[in-house]
């Protein structure tokens, strides 16, 4: 059944769902920002090492999260159709697959030092990174289940509980980081291992909180009733879509991960500046991710209704919101790069000025790709909402790995442009992806009418 909402109505609906999702993504990402900030104050070497470790962890996490992202549009469409049984089936199998992914990739985290060293990273930094990952790796299991539960709740437009749970977990992480990294309040000084322990604790707390909410507030779905029983049909559906989404996300995350590796080849100072700049850019990007999630849910519900007009109006509205915020980011990156970078470093750090200089140049380049980055993530969210994931996977692979990564290497290393060259490669990859994916969505959107 069509919902003939005006653009103003779509704006209200997008904000009602999108703002809590944005808040939850920002709160979740603040975990990484706090880790970076506190370790930047603890030492440049530790900051560089955890930049490597965090990138390594994230690329595996984002690949596994594809199955959680698949749950979101499937639950949204099923909920719109009033099919509670399907809601339960796909969500439960999403959790099954997430645990399987965690088991499969955990050895890579536990024995990460040889892998990082083989990738050309400094052996000492690689060893410190492995110390972090051998603890933080245990948090991958609850983290992936949390992603499934967040997708399930967001698809049901219950984003506020996701926001509050994430805020409490982020606050807990900050307190634990302060105690365990530096050894405050009688706790042992554990450095990078303390940051890892804090991350595991917050993931466990988040998982338990969301699971309790699902059981008590949404008992009709019975998510955990006989959860050990397989549902091969639903598992196959989630696996197929999730693998495509995971590979798409892996291609994009891999672009930024590759840039981190290339930065490591340039030098520790450049890697540290890159680590801080990536945190700042990613913090702003979380706004677009939240809006993209809202776009997935709204598009999924339009698909369930066969509402082409509602899909296109809603898409135009939420894309406009994303582009407005991209403009805000551009202004800030160009106007105040120093103050934003500076909060991550000890004022007495000898390399502070050098790191800030490199970081300011990176943020200037980041300003170039804000609109392209916003376009590609919004198009991805909308395409997932209409359950179109195979072609976007191909677009991402071509844009990021055939265009973006080679250009980052060529500009940064071969042509000697350094960090700015590496980030210029990111610009080209994101620009191509944004154009192709937006074109794909608007063509696809005219063919969903029921």
Residue 240 is assigned to a structural domain of this protein:
yes
Residue 292 is given by DSSP the state: H
Return the sign of the alpha-carbon dihedral for residues 161, 198, 102, 223: negative
How many Cα atoms are found within 13 Å in the side-chain-facing hemisphere of 127?
2
Residue 149 is assigned to a structural domain of this protein:
yes
Return the sign of the alpha-carbon dihedral for residues 316, 322, 326, 332: positive
Question: H-type helices in 119-231, by residue range?
Answer: 123-136, 140-155, 159-182, 192-217
Residue 3 is assigned to a structural domain of this protein:
no
Residue 1 is assigned to a structural domain of this protein:
no
Q: Which domain does 159 fall in, by range? A: 16-447
Residue 30 is assigned to a structural domain of this protein:
yes
Residue 10 is assigned to a structural domain of this protein:
no
Return the sign of the alpha-carbon dihedral for residues 154, 159, 165, 169: positive
Q: Decide: pTM greater than 0.85.
A: no
Residue 415 is given by DSSP the state: S
Residue 265 is assigned to a structural domain of this protein:
yes
Residue 238 is assigned to a structural domain of this protein:
yes
What is 365-413 written as a DSSP string? HHHHTHHHHHHHHHHHHHHHHTT--HHHHHHHHIIIIIIIHHHHHIIII
3-class secondary-structure state, position 18: helix
- Among 266, 255, 294, which residue's Cα sits nearest to residue 159? 294
User: Structurally, how many domains does the chain consist of?
Assistant: 1
Q: How far is Cα of residue 397 from the mean position of the Cα atoms in its chain? A: 17
Mind listing the pLDDT tens digit of every residue in the chain (450 residues)? 445 567 777 778 777 777 788 887 777 777 766 776 777 777 777 777 877 787 788 778 877 888 888 888 888 888 877 888 888 889 999 999 988 988 998 999 888 888 888 877 778 888 888 888 988 889 889 989 988 998 899 888 887 888 888 888 888 888 888 888 888 887 877 877 888 888 888 889 889 999 999 989 888 888 888 788 888 888 898 998 888 888 888 787 778 778 878 888 888 788 888 888 887 888 888 888 888 888 888 888 787 777 777 788 888 888 889 899 999 999 999 998 888 888 777 777 778 888 888 888 889 888 888 888 888 889 988 998 888 888 989 999 999 999 989 999 999 888 988 888 988 988 899 899 989 999 998 887 766 544
Contact indicator for 378, 288 with CB cutoff of 8 Å: yes
């Amino acid at each position: 059944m069509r919902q003939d909402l005006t653009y103003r109505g779509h704006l209200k609906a997008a904000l009602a769902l999108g703002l809590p999702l944005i808040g939850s993504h920002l709160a979740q990402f603040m975990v990484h920002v706090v880790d970076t900030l506190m370790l930047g104050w603890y030492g440049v070497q530790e900051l560089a090492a955890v930049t490597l470790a965090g990138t390594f962890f994230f690329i595996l996490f984002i690949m596994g999260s594809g199955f959680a992202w698949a749950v979101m549009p499937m639950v949204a469409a099923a909920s719109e159709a009033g099919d509670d049984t399907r809601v339960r089936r796909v969500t439960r199998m999403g959790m099954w697959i997430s645990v399987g992914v965690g088991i499969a990739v955990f050895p890579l985290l536990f024995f990460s030092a040889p892998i990082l060293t083989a990738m050309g990273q400094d052996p000492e930094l690689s060893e410190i990174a492995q110390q972090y990952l051998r603890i933080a790796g245990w948090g991958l299991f609850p983290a992936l289940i949390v992603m499934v539960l967040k997708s399930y709740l967001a698809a049901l437009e219950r984003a506020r509980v996701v926001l509050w749970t994430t805020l409490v977990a982020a606050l807990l992480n900050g307190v634990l980081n302060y105690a365990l990294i530096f050894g405050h309040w009688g706790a042992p000084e554990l450095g990078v291992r303390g940051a890892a322990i804090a991350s595991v604790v917050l993931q466990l707390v988040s998982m338990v909180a969301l699971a309790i909410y699902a059981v008590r507030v949404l008992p009709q779905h019975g998510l955990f009733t006989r959860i050990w029983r397989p549902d091969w049909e639903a598992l196959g559906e989630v696996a197929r879509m999730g693998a495509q989404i995971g590979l798409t996300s892996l291609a994009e995350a891999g672009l930024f991960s590759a840039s981190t590796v290339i930065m490591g080849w340039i030098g520790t100072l450049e890697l540290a500046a890159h680590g801080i700049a990536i945190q700042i850019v990613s913090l702003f990007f979380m706004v677009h991710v939240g809006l993209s999630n809202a776009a997935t849910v709204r598009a999924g519900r339009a698909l369930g209704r066969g509402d082409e007009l509602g899909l296109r109006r809603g898409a135009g509205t939420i894309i406009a919101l994303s582009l407005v915020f991209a403009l805000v980011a551009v202004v800030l990156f160009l106007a105040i790069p120093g103050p934003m970078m500076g909060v991550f470093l000890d004022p007495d750090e000898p390399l502070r000025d050098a790191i800030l200089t490199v970081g300011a140049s990176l943020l200037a380049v980041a300003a170039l790709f804000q609109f392209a980055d916003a376009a590609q993530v919004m198009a991805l969210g909308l395409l997932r909402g209409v359950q179109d994931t195979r072609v976007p996977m191909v677009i991402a692979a071509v844009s990021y790995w055939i265009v973006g990564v080679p250009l980052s290497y060529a500009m940064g290393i071969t042509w000697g442009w350094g960090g700015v060259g590496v980030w210029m490669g990111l610009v080209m990859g994101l620009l191509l992806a944004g154009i192709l994916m937006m074109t794909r969505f608007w063509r696809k959107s005219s063919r969903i009418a029921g």
